[in-house]
Amino acid sequence: MLGNAVKFTEQGGIGLRVRADREGATGPFLRVEIEDTGPGISPGDQDKLFRHFEQTKTGQLAGTGTGLGLAISQEFVRLMGGAITVTSHVGKGSIFIIHLPLKDGEAQAVQARDAPQRVIRLQPGQATCRVLIADDIEDNRQLLAQLLMPVGFEVRLANNGMEAVQEFDQWRPHLILMDFRMPVMDGHEAIRRIRSMAGGKKPKIIAVTASAMDENRQTMLGIGADDFIAKPIQEVELFQKIHAQLGVEYVYAEVPVAAAQEEAAELTFESLASWPQDLIDPMREAVITADLDHLLAKIQESEARDPRVAQGLRRLAEGFHYQKLLDLFSSGRLH
């Protein structure tokens, strides 16, 4: 729904408002409002908004979409017991409102989770573990490689599914991290071919996907993947998945994550004062474009300069504290 607002609003602005509230005796609810200054929707077209495969005149003129987006959104909201309403005026814009019911809970019912530990290397005495990374995006490949290689994994890279099949045949990796959307040959076909080759049943395959929906998970497992991990990839989850599939054991950093987060909160402009602008600018650009993969890759590259500051930047990035990062990176541009 927010994507629609962006697509059809050529000037003015878009507002997203979210709040939890109560409505009489019906109980608590979540209210999500999406307001735009787009072309607006006529009363006649408003009746078509939530019908499958029907588009408004504005949508037809745009020449994009299938007429399913709002219909699917409405079904999701209904499944959660909620409803969608719309108010729109031609030439002025639209407001879509989502109501979702909430349940009252007790604070003590929330389970506290143990703070994740940072992996620094493989436990000594284990056999060498070969990992093949297949992804058509260079930044994604490098991010995974820079997470795995310093820990002690042997890594090779493939640009697409065809190269992944060739690398498997020549190198026989123990684990394959397989992106699903790639040119030349996608992850579906690459997994199918590898599983059909001699020895193709042995490697563990973790599918890397931008979608974590249950039906996609079943599709991946059905074609031969052992597990999947959703983008943007989180370091802790990645190492947990690898441990679950291969049984490898790690040596963890002694500094707890909570302490690292405290250090991250103390970062100031002075922490980055000695860093060259050509190192800071790409990270700043990654924050502006919300490209977490690229941001983490650049932070990884900076670790040799100052591990403490790099760790602090990583914690801010993984916590999505983009405004704090933007303030840190932008301050240096003024000096």
CB 184 within 8 A of CB 226: no
CB 160 within 8 A of CB 181: no
Cα(277)–Cα(279) distance, rounded to whole angstroms? Answer: 5
Question: Which pLDDT does position 70 carry in this prediction?
Answer: 83
Cα(240)–Cα(119) distance, rounded to whole angstroms? Answer: 10
CA angle, 10 then 14 then 19, to 5°: 165
CB 175 within 8 A of CB 204: yes
Report cis status (omega within 30 of 0) of the bond before 232.
yes
Q: What are the residue ranges spanned by the domains of the chain?
A: 2-101, 119-252, 257-334
Cα(250)–Cα(332) distance, rounded to whole angstroms? Answer: 37
Cα(284)–Cα(314) distance, rounded to whole angstroms? Answer: 13
Cα(52)–Cα(65) distance, rounded to whole angstroms? Answer: 12
CB 207 within 8 A of CB 217: no
Tens digits of residue pLDDT in 162-218: 999 999 999 999 999 999 889 999 999 999 999 999 999 999 999 988 765 545 666
Question: Which pLDDT does position 28 carry in this prediction?
Answer: 87
Q: Where are the beta strands (DSSP E) in the chain?
A: 14-22, 28-36, 83-89, 93-101, 119-122, 130-134, 154-158, 175-179, 204-209, 227-230, 250-252
Return the SS3 of 71: helix
Regions of the chain short of the pLDDT cut 70: 23-25, 52-68, 110-116, 211-218, 255-265, 331-335
CB 205 within 8 A of CB 191: yes
Q: Give residue 187's Cα distance to chain centre.
A: 18
Question: Which pLDDT does position 213 carry in this prediction?
Answer: 54
User: pTM of whole model > 0.75?
Assistant: no
Q: Give residue 142's Cα distance to chain centre.
A: 16
Q: Name the CATH superfamily, with its identifier, for domain 2-101.
A: Histidine kinase-like ATPase, C-terminal domain (3.30.565.10)
Tens digits of residue pLDDT in 163-173: 999 999 999 99
Largest CA distance in the chain: 71
CATH class of 119-252: alpha beta
First to last CA, the chain: 41
Cα(191)–Cα(293) distance, rounded to whole angstroms? Answer: 24
CA angle, 229 then 230 then 234, to 5°: 80
Question: Which pLDDT does position 175 carry in this prediction?
Answer: 98
CB atoms < 10 A from the CB of 119, how many? 23
Query: What are the structure tokens assigned to 329, written together?
Result: 């990176």
